[in-house]
A and B are shown apart, each in its own frame.
Chain A
Amino acid sequence: MILDELYYTKSHEWVRVEGEKGTVGITDFAQSELQDIVYVELPEVGKKLKAGEVLCSIDSVKSSAEIYTPVSGEVIEVNEKLSSEPELVNKDPYGEGWIAIVKLADSNEISNLLSAKEYEEMLEGEK
């Protein structure tokens, strides 16, 4: 499942841009590859990151993946719910399974990201 209104990365993260805020999560494809998620190591609020830097890590029973922020900026909110219910990332990756909200440092960066169509094509290519 891919949502039209989001922007994507090649490493399977998404960002939803609303004003100067970007909500970040992982894609449906990414959660299905990781399988049953058991732990999300949430980033610290206040952490400043450049696009492509490690935002957090997500662990399943037999794997651990680093998640990269699609956009630069400061982490202003994290999804605390994931510390007790990491499975939300599996159940609802684009909704309740969001990871963090980043205050965008540079809204022009969005143009570097993939559109839903481009991301879909990329996934087709990987198959």
Chain B
Amino acid sequence: MSRYIPLTERDREEMLKEMGISSIEDLFSSIPEELKFKGKLNISPIKDERALVDYFRNIDAQNRFADKKIFLGAGAYNHYIPYAVDYISMRSEYLTPYTPYQPEVSQGNLTAAFEYQTYISALTGLEVANVSMYEGATATAEAALMALRVKKGKIAVARSLNPQYKEVMETYLRKQGIDIVEIGYNRDGRINIREVEEKIDNNTTGFIVGYPNFFGVIEELETVYENIKDKKVLLITSTWEPLSLAILKSPGDSGAEIAAGETQSFGLPLAYGGPYLGFFATTKKYMWKMPGRLVGMTKDIEGKEGFVLTLSAREQHIRRQRATSNICSNEAWCTVRVAIYLSLLGRKGLRKLALLNHKRAVRAASMLEDKGFKLKFNGPFFNEFVVDVGTDGEKFRDALLSGGIVAGYPLGKEFPELSNSLLLTFTEMNSLSDIDALVKGMEASK
């Protein structure tokens, strides 16, 4: 008997007896005999808890990254997570409930979600944020779908958008028969405004821009906005390093009407890619067109303030095929972690952390420039930048692996024009001596 099943043999017999049934198998009589599986599943049990843990520790022993100095970002960022985030979020009351359909016994989650919405609204400079999307790429694709509900037409996408996000957007939009046009980048790594003028027209619904973009470069959003606003094109930003929003002008203040992206940096472990948390924010004007769950403040029958899921008629359980999205389960638990993380870091801490990340990246860039490396783009960056290594980027990175260094992300596969380039990322987790080691290693491999 499994330790998770609190039914003794005797319980089972009594229950059957009370029901007037002779065996459990009789309860499966509605399944036609020829469809029943008569064999045994070939999965052997590991009943001993210690053996189970050892089994997985042995699997982990095949991983060999723990002692490496890693300078990877490109959509997932290694930031320190205050232990209080784990400690509180692991409580049963946060980890094990279902979606808060019964608000009277879900005020904890609903309140935390309301706080999370407030945080995302503040960071993006937009009025309304939902409780979550799956992760950054689907959040960005849903932003494009929402734009199509505001205005029909084609979607413009910056070539410098996260390439995985672009692929997901193509999956989502192509099924709807939507055209996607790509807008190139300049030598400074920023959007090519001439292409914006040429390719974006009145039939364009929205323009999706990475902020910062995949090269780590900070776009001049206002310039982009000035060039598209008369064509009634929605400016949509996608951000996968949300820490940057702590010091950068907010998308909402720069003309964006939808801001989507990834929130992993705020208290979620790298975890080999998931679970992460997609954020989504827009203006109040468009709130009925947005996907995902929303929590609103209201009062109970005694006049006490409380929170409920609201504007639900947008969603699949009510609108079915007419819903604004098919999303149901999202990443609610991750929003609790983000709320705790941002509460701890706070107004001063978050800003300091963002500056620390930026300064470390600047320091590394200067050191590399001193050693004769060239940055590929001269636009300002946040905590990652592209460096030209003068030879095939992937081979260059592999050469450094034996020295215990993972020298960023080679761009050649997704940007053939950048095959000699690496995207290097720096956070507070990359110590100054690690940066020294990276620069030394790169110089030696040059």
A-side residues, CB < 8 A to B, are: 38-39, 41, 57, 59-64, 66
- Can you name 22 A-B pairs with beta carbons within 8 Å? A38-B311, A38-B313, A39-B288, A39-B311, A39-B313, A41-B288, A57-B322, A59-B288, A59-B313, A59-B318, A60-B313, A61-B312, A61-B313, A62-B312, A62-B313, A62-B318, A63-B313, A63-B318, A64-B313, A64-B318, A64-B319, A66-B322
The 3 closest A-B pairs by CB, nearest first: A59-B313, A64-B313, A64-B319
In chain B, what residue has the closest Cβ to A40? B288
- The smallest C-beta distance from A85 to any residue of chain B, in angstroms, reads 15
Identify which of residues 297-323 in chain B touch chain A, using a CB-to-CB cut-off of 8 Å: 311-314, 318-319, 322
With both chains docked as a complex, state the minimum distance between the C-beta of B44 and any C-beta of chain A, in angstroms: 48
B interface with A by C-beta (< 8 Å): 288, 311-314, 318-319, 322
Bound CA–CA A59/B312 (angstroms)? 9
Q: Which residues of chain B are near A66, meaning CB under 8 Å?
A: 322
* Chain A residues, CB < 8 A from B314: 59
Q: Contacts of A64 on B, CB cut-off 8 Å?
A: 313, 318-319, 322
Beyond the given pairs A59-B318, A60-B313, A62-B313, 14 more chain A to chain B contacts, judged by CB atoms under 8 angstroms and listed by A's residue number, are A38-B313, A39-B288, A57-B322, A59-B288, A59-B313, A61-B312, A61-B313, A62-B312, A62-B318, A63-B313, A63-B318, A64-B318, A64-B319, A66-B322
Provide the main secondary structure of the chain A interface: strand
Q: Would you give the shortest CB distance from A23 to chain B, in whole angstroms?
A: 24
CA distance A118 to B312 in the complex (A): 35
What's the nearest-Cβ distance from chain A to residue B183, in Å? 28
Residues of A within 8 A of B319 (CB): 64
A24 to B384: give the CA distance in the assembly, Å.
Answer: 57
A37's nearest neighbour on chain B, judged by CB, is B313
- When distances are taken between beta carbons in the complex, the residues of chain B under 8 Å from A60 are 313
Question: Shortest distance in angstroms between A127's beta carbon and chain B's nearest beta carbon?
Answer: 26
**Complex interface: chain A residues within 8 A of B311 (CB):** 38-39
Provide the residues of chain B in CB contact with A63, threshold 8 Å: 313, 318
Residues of A within 8 A of B318 (CB): 59, 62-64
Q: Which residues of A contact B322 (CB under 8 A)?
A: 57, 64, 66
Q: Shortest beta-carbon distance, B301 to chain A, in Å?
A: 15
Report the Cα distance A39→B319, complex, angstroms. 13
| Nearest residue, chain A, Cβ from B285 | A83
Provide the bound-state CA to CA distance between A114 and B288, in Å: 33
> B287 — nearest CB in chain A belongs to which residue?
A39
Complex Cα gap A66–B320 (Å): 12
Residues of B contacting A39 with CB < 8 Å?
Answer: 288, 311, 313
Chain A neighbourhood of B313, CB < 8 A:
38-39, 59-64
**Residues of chain B contacted by A62 (CB below 8 angstroms):** 312-313, 318
Whole-angstrom distance from the CB of A30 to the nearest CB of chain B?
16
